[in-house]
């Protein structure tokens, strides 16, 4: 995926203005405006505490971020400090696009209290390549008032997929708003598909990097959402097609749906975009199935191999996860801090929305399984293929055709490497 996407257009928004000083530190991340505001404020605080530093920050949405970063890596011009995802970390590390950080541990990087799990989830082949920005898991956000209007009880911890579908259908029949549905159509959302597969006893990938599901699994997933569409329980195909895999373009944020699937740390950004007060709960469970959720780093900071100021990049990263000033500014928008001390510090000043998110992660334990195998090279590209094929199914292809096509294209990408 590093060399892919060079022909894609990526709309990037500039953050803090650069100044003509002695050193320039370039920082790049994906996320919402809420995340950008917090991150730029933290970078400004870091710059104020470190004279002679010039910073250039920029951010974009998830789907534009990876093609743009890949283009910069291919051109040997990647920013110093980049936001990294667990899915892509292994690929970027093994291709030498990001550098190991072990040499900084105990001096510029003070994260010993993160613990083995949170350090291990940011490591590749025994070396540390990421600095955990927060712990999260998958979640469902919903507009409680909208559900109350219909008289249908909203989904909660332990709601089964069958119950969820029934609730959404009942919501659709009782709802009086135009072009408003109980749920988004999650058939094209890879995290949702992965969680459902895990409940089914399968996975996206095995420990050798091969697909761990088959065409029937994918077809059954598409069928689940096809039934939801037909019953009026989730948004129509044309509405779901508006979703560009950003919080801003989710049918929940656009006012078309009363529930959406996201990562727990995104709950804060989702609430910022919603006029309604949101609540958070777990995904539906599979009757007789296995735990589908898992805890992972929401994002990491990684230092690119093109970094002109790698030590400065590490110092900024450390500021955001270990310095009280930086931690307070970022809060828990990127997830629950991995450091127990910083978690307690952040918790003391959390607003109600952030407290909901932290409490949610704390209640999730019965629904959590082990961390999945590391995603293989090409996994990021495959996630976009799922979105495209799900739309083709929603607009008329059969679930069986979609399942076969998805597996065929995914296997082709994995073979290409």
CA quadruple 179, 180, 185, 186: dihedral positive or negative?
A: positive
Q: Is residue 62 a contact partner of residue 30, using CB atoms and an 8 Å limit?
A: yes
* Residue 5 pLDDT level (bands cut at 50, 70, 90): very low
* pLDDT averaged over every residue in the chain: 93
The angle formed by the CA atoms of residues 32, 241 and 145, to the nearest 5 degrees, is 65
| Predicted pLDDT at 321 | 97
Does residue 30 sit in helix, strand or coil?
strand
Q: Residue 110, SS3?
A: coil
Among 86, 259, 264, residue whose Cα is nearest residue 186: 259
Give φ, ψ of 274 to 5 degrees. Answer: -105, 135
Query: What pLDDT is attached to residue 216?
Result: 99
pLDDT (tens digit per residue) in 161-190: 999 999 999 999 999 999 999 999 999 999
Q: 237 near 226, Cβ under 8 Å?
A: no
Residue appearing with tokens 């931690």: 327
Contacts of 62 (CB under 8 A, 6+ apart): 30, 31, 245, 246
Average pLDDT score over residue span 191-208: 97
Measured torsion, CA atoms of residues 119, 15, 98, 110, in degrees rounded to the nearest 10:
-30
CATH of domain 13-135+297-358: 3.40.190.10
24 backbone dihedrals φ, ψ, rounded to 5°: -115, 130
Contact 155, 280 (CB under 8 A): no
H helices of 61-209, in order, are 62-74, 86-94, 115-120, 144-150, 161-174, 190-199
Residue 417 pLDDT:
76
pLDDT score of 13: 40
Cβ proximity of 5 and 67 under 8 Å: yes
Assigned fold of 138-293+378-416: D-Maltodextrin-Binding Protein; domain 2 (3.40.190)
- Using the predicted structure, report yes or no on whether residue 285 has a pLDDT greater than 50: yes
Phi, psi of 40 (to 5 degrees): -65, -35
Q: 11: pLDDT confidence band, cut at 50, 70 and 90?
A: very low
> Each residue of 340-374: b (16+ CB within 10 Å) or e?
eebbeebeeebeebbebbbebbeebeebeeeebbb
The CA-CA-CA angle for residues 213, 216, 218, to 5°, reads 65
pLDDT-derived band at 10, boundaries 50, 70, 90: very low
Q: Per-residue confidence at 12, pLDDT binned at 50, 70, 90?
A: very low
Residue whose pair of structure tokens reads 């970078």 in the numeric block: 43
> Model confidence at 9, in pLDDT bands (50, 70, 90)?
very low
* CATH 3.40.190.10 domain residues, the chain: 13-135+297-358, 138-293+378-416
**Higher-confidence position of 374 and 256:** 256
Q: Which of 218, 280, 275, 270 is nearest to 247 (CA)?
A: 270
pLDDT above 90 for 349? no
Residues 6+ apart with CB under 8 A from 360: 139, 264, 267, 280, 281, 282
Spatial distance between the Cα atoms of 254 and 276, rounded to a whole number of angstroms: 11
Distance between alpha carbon 131 and the CA centroid of its chain, in Å? 16
Pairing outcome for strands 53-60 and 23-30: parallel
Measured distance CA(292)–CA(32) in Å, rounded: 26
Within 232-307, where are the H helices?
237-240, 266-273
| Cα torsion angle, 154, 155, 158, 160, sign | positive
pLDDT tens for each residue of 351-387 = 999 999 999 998 998 999 989 988 898 998 999 999 9
């Amino acid at each position: 995926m590093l060399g892919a996407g060079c022909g894609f257009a990526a709309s990037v928004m500039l953050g803090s203005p650069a100044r003509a000083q002695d050193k320039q530190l370039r920082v790049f991340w994906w996320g919402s405006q809420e995340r950008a505001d917090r991150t730029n404020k933290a970078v400004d605080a870091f710059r104020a505490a470190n004279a002679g530093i010039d910073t250039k920050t920029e951010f974009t949405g998830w789907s534009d971020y990876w093609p743009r970063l890949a283009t910069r890596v291919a051109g040997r011009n990647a920013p110093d400090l980049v936001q990294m995802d667990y899915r892509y970390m292994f690929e970027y590390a093994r291709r030498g696009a990001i550098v190991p950080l072990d040499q900084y541990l105990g001096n510029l990087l003070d994260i010993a209290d993160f613990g083995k799990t949170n350090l291990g989830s940011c490591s590749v082949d025994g070396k540390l390549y990421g600095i955990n920005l927060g712990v999260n898991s998958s979640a469902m956000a919903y507009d409680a008032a909208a559900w109350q209007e219909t008289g249908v009880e909203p989904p909660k911890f332990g709601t089964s997929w069958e119950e969820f579908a029934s609730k959404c259908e009942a919501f659709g029949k009782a709802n009086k708003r135009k072009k408003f549905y109980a749920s988004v159509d999650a058939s094209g959302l890879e995290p949702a598909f992965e969680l459902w597969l895990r409940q089914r006893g399968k996975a996206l990938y095995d420990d050798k990097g091969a697909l761990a599901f088959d065409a029937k699994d994918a077809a059954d997933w598409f069928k689940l959402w096809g039934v939801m569409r037909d019953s009026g329980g989730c948004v129509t195909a044309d509405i779901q097609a508006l979703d560009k895999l950003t919080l801003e373009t989710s049918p929940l944020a656009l006012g078309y749906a009363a529930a959406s699937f996201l990562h727990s740390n995104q709950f804060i950004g989702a609430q910022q975009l919603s006029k309604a007060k949101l609540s958070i709960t777990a995904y539906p469970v599979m009757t007789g199935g296995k735990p589908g959720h898992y805890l992972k780093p929401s994002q990491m900071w990684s230092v690119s191999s093109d970094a002109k100021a790698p030590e400065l990049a590490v110092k900024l990263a450390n500021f955001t996860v270990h310095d009280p000033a930086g931690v307070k500014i970022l809060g828990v928008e990127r997830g629950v801090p991995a450091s127990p001390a910083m978690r307690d510090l952040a918790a003391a000043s959390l607003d109600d929305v952030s407290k909901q998110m932290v409490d949610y992660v704390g209640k999730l334990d019965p629904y959590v399984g082990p961390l999945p195998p590391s995603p293989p090279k090409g996994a990021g590209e495959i996630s976009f293929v799922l979105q495209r094929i799900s739309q083709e199914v929603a607009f008329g292809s059969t679930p069986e055709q979609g399942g076969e096509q998805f597996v065929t294209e995914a296997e082709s990408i994995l073979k290409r490497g």
